[in-house]
């Protein structure tokens, strides 16, 4: 298995990049989050990878960090989540945002990922809750209810699911924070 590539950025597109490692060009399929962090052509790059082998396919998936790579690999452990859906999860969530969604049973946020239905999102929560290093649940407190109310309020204000997911990923819910405080914090992030 190829753990990472260290070489020169030879090219990139909206969903992949080419990395020249000692004269060999590797095409690496990347999440949107990783593509956004890639350096310019000709610059040095290190990409963490996952090699996916099937009967008819050999594909290399790349990530900006080891944490994103682990998120990808852990997501694929769940039945119904293949590499394409796992890559969509990496595009939609930061590793910390994904852990928060699992810890707070935020099925609505998970099922807003393209290709991930409600049943598979519920399976993700059920199967990954024990496997992830989750934040202290006392800190999360009543966040599952509050975050769903905040999500609903932001939807009513016209924000899209990806915008809401990104904003909630940056909001740190204090144990005594009200729904109004969380909405204000999310709106600051969205501004």
Q: Could you report the per-residue pLDDT of 92-107, keeping only the tens digit for each?
A: 998 888 888 888 888 8
Are 59 and 71 part of one and the same domain? Answer: no
* pTM score of the predicted model: 0.69
pLDDT digits (tens, 9 = 90+) for 105-146: 888 889 999 999 999 999 998 888 877 655 444 334 445 556
Averaged confidence pLDDT in the chain = 85
Please give the pLDDT value at position 60: 94
Are 174 and 152 part of one and the same domain? Answer: yes
The residue segments making up the domain with residue 56 are 4-63
CATH number at residue 79: 1.10.150.20
Are 181 and 152 part of one and the same domain? Answer: yes
Are 110 and 143 part of one and the same domain? Answer: no
Total domains present in the chain: 3
pLDDT digits (tens, 9 = 90+) for 3-23: 899 999 999 999 999 999 999
Query: How large is the average pLDDT for residues 71-90?
Result: 92
Long-range interactions of 141-148: CB distance < 8 A, separation 24+: 141/173, 141/175, 141/176, 142/175, 143/104, 143/173, 144/104, 144/105, 144/106, 146/173, 146/177, 146/178, 146/179, 146/182, 147/104, 147/106, 147/173, 147/182, 148/106, 148/108
């Amino acid at each position: 298995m190829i753990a990472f590539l260290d070489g020169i950025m030879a090219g990139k597109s909206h969903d992949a990049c080419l990395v020249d490692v000692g004269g060999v060009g590797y095409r690496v399929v990347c999440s949107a989050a990783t593509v956004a962090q890639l350096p310019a052509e000709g610059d040095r790059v290190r990409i963490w990878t996952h090699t996916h082998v099937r009967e008819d396919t050999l594909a290399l998936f790349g990530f900006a960090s080891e944490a994103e790579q682990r998120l990808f690999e852990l997501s694929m452990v769940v039945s119904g989540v293949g590499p394409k859906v796992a890559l969509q999860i990496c595009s939609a969530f930061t590793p910390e945002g994904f852990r928060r969604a699992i810890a707070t049973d935020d099925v609505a946020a998970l099922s807003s990922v393209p290709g991930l239905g409600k049943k598979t999102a519920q399976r993700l929560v059920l199967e990954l809750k024990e496997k992830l290093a989750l934040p202290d649940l006392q800190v999360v407190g009543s966040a599952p209810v509050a975050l769903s109310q905040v999500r609903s309020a932001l939807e009513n204000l016209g924000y899209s699911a990806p915008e809401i997911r990104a904003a909630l990923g940056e909001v740190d819910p204090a144990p005594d924070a009200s729904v109004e405080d969380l909405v204000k914090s999310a709106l600051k992030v969205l501004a």
